[in-house]
Amino acid sequence: MSQYRTIYHGNFIHTPTPAKLEVLHSALVCVGPEGVIEWIEEDVQGEMIQDISGRYGIDLLDGAATAAVQVVQIPQGEFVCPGLVDTHTHAPQYPNIGLGGALQLLDWLEQLTFPEERKFADIEYARQVYGRVVERGLGFGTTTCCYYATTHVEASLALAGICLERGQRAFVGKCCMDRNCPHDYVETTEDSIQDTEKFLSAILSTSSSSSKSLAPLVQPILTPRFAISCTPQLLSSLASISKTYTPPLLIQTHLSENLAECDVAAELFPDSKSYAAVYADHGLLAPGTILAHCVHLSDEEMDLIRDTGAGIAHCPNSNTHLSSGCARVRTMLDKGVKVGLGTDCSGGNSPTIMTAMRHASDVSRFRSFVDQSTSSLSLAEIFYLATMGGATLCRLDQKIGSFAIGKEFDALHIRPVSPTLWAQKGDSEERLFERWIWGGDDRDVADVWVRGRRVAGSA
């Protein structure tokens, strides 16, 4: 933890609500030693920095740094935005990125995914893969990530350890699956529960925060793979485990991704009214439950999800790559369902939320071409999903996702340098932002801060 306060001066762009992109022009943002935003002032010209800081009891020498304060200038033509939140990905599947586009979900799991995940019994292999996953994720600007790991406790803990060491805010889940999986990659119900308890006690004892006032940067998330691969007993037991904690532990699973999957779920749970109801009936839907995909939901299922406070990780790359379908995100938002974005590697073929934003936009446009009563998502809505929307799914909306006093400073410094980003002198901040979202890449991510600490960046 830095002993410094840092004062950032420049243009900040965020979406505290989906309605509008908000620019804080020439803002002064003061971040305290624990990485929490202490104050924000807008429209501050260079010569005013010293005066305004003085009003907050900070003495600067000629507007520059002192021993206890550093001043970071973000030049015109560059900007700072909130870090990106990936609400759903599978760290052990990254070695398969790009493969499997000719398959659909259930065959893809059997032929490609389970064989790769099984390899994570080898802890050295796990460390090697997970180190690369976390390093690249931070480089792309993913400051918070919800990870599925595998069934293996040691490898899942290694992933959590790497996130903590590299400084990525993360939720890490040991995957639970006790049926309909290959004989050499499946757990008994008892082992799945016991290993989950082992994983929880280990991660909770090692990931405590360095400060009493801050939550741990890396936290566990309960991870029943999906209804098909979990017995009713396992689903209910994981729901009970969640509720033994205050607040209850986060939960992640998959829901209604592929039509063949929906049919099998209906056969396995004939007493539940719908696929979403399977999870509700087993006590798994609550604020902090992240449901990946939700491509084939009925209106009633969306209402159920909204009413329980659970949220949806929209994974457009994956839904296209595995030919699953086009999720009805506009309807979800109109109904007041919480929605964030997920890369869902390696169902998704790109590990960055930049691509997820572009595909979310494309999918919403395709839906609106086919159904003219549906409007596509705006740029502000797309960026909201990638930041505040994701934060809300993880119950972190009071901590990250936008710039406000009391929030933690998870942010990206965007300096346009990539060859496809044709920034022009005189571009407004909004225009520059738009260029970056559609035309930029990680080369433009000059600095990545999580809780005020610089953890990556191309600069």
The full DSSP string for 80-110 is: EEEPEEEEEEEGGGGGGTT--TTS-HHHHII
Helices (H), 141-231: 153-166, 189-206
Smallest distance, ligand XAN to C-beta of residue 335, A? 23
CA 84 to chain centroid: 7
- Cβ closest to ligand XAN, residue 21 vs residue 315: 315
410: contact with Zn ion by CB under 5 A: no
Q: Which of 87, 272, 318, 376 touches ligand XAN by CB under 6 A?
A: 318
Nearest residue to 7 (alpha-carbon basis) of 25, 21, 56, 399: 56
- Cβ closest to ligand XAN, residue 105 vs residue 382: 105
Query: 10 Å Cβ neighbour count for 59?
Result: 10
* Distance from C-alpha of 253 to C-alpha of 386, rounded to nearest angstrom: 19
Query: Which among ligand XAN, Zn ion, none contacts residue 225 (Cβ within 5 to 8 A by kind)?
Result: ligand XAN
Smallest distance, Zn ion to C-beta of residue 48, A? 49
On whether the CB atoms of residues 50 and 58 are closer than 8 A, the answer is no
Six-digit token pair at 271? 């007493």
- Cβ closest to ligand XAN, residue 11 vs residue 89: 89
- Cβ closest to ligand XAN, residue 254 vs residue 330: 254
On whether the CB atoms of residues 139 and 185 are closer than 8 A, the answer is no
Within 328-387, the residues that bind ligand XAN by CB under 6 A are 344, 347
90: contact with ligand XAN by CB under 6 A: yes
As beta bridge partners, residue 41 has 28
- Cβ closest to Zn ion, residue 22 vs residue 107: 107
Query: Which among ligand XAN, Zn ion, none contacts residue 311 (Cβ within 5 to 8 A by kind)?
Result: none
* Distance from C-alpha of 232 to C-alpha of 357, rounded to nearest angstrom: 35
* Distance from C-alpha of 253 to C-alpha of 72, rounded to nearest angstrom: 41
Within 291-320, the residues that bind Zn ion by CB under 5 A are 292
Smallest distance, ligand XAN to C-beta of residue 257, A? 5
Q: Which of 5, 152, 174, 254 touches ligand XAN by CB under 6 A?
A: 254
On whether the CB atoms of residues 74 and 8 are closer than 8 A, the answer is yes
* Distance from C-alpha of 149 to C-alpha of 164, rounded to nearest angstrom: 15
Six-digit token pair at 115? 């064989």
Query: Which among ligand XAN, Zn ion, none contacts residue 226 (Cβ within 5 to 8 A by kind)?
Result: ligand XAN
- Cβ closest to ligand XAN, residue 113 vs residue 350: 113
226: contact with ligand XAN by CB under 6 A: yes
257: contact with ligand XAN by CB under 6 A: yes
* Distance from C-alpha of 310 to C-alpha of 291, rounded to nearest angstrom: 8
- Tokens 């939901």, located at residue: 297
Smallest distance, Zn ion to C-beta of residue 340, A? 13
Within 331-350, the residues that bind Zn ion by CB under 5 A are 344
* Distance from C-alpha of 292 to C-alpha of 409, rounded to nearest angstrom: 27
Query: Which among ligand XAN, Zn ion, none contacts residue 403 (Cβ within 5 to 8 A by kind)?
Result: none
CA distances from 369 to 326, 334, 341, 374 (A): 12, 18, 22, 8
225: contact with ligand XAN by CB under 6 A: yes
Query: Which among ligand XAN, Zn ion, none contacts residue 86 (Cβ within 5 to 8 A by kind)?
Result: none
Binding characters for ligand XAN, 97-126, by CB under 6 A (x = yes): --------x---x---x-------------
314: contact with ligand XAN by CB under 6 A: no
- Site residues for Zn ion per CB under 5 A: 292, 344
Q: Which residues bind ligand XAN (CB under 6 A)?
A: 90, 105, 109, 113, 225-226, 254, 257, 318, 344, 347
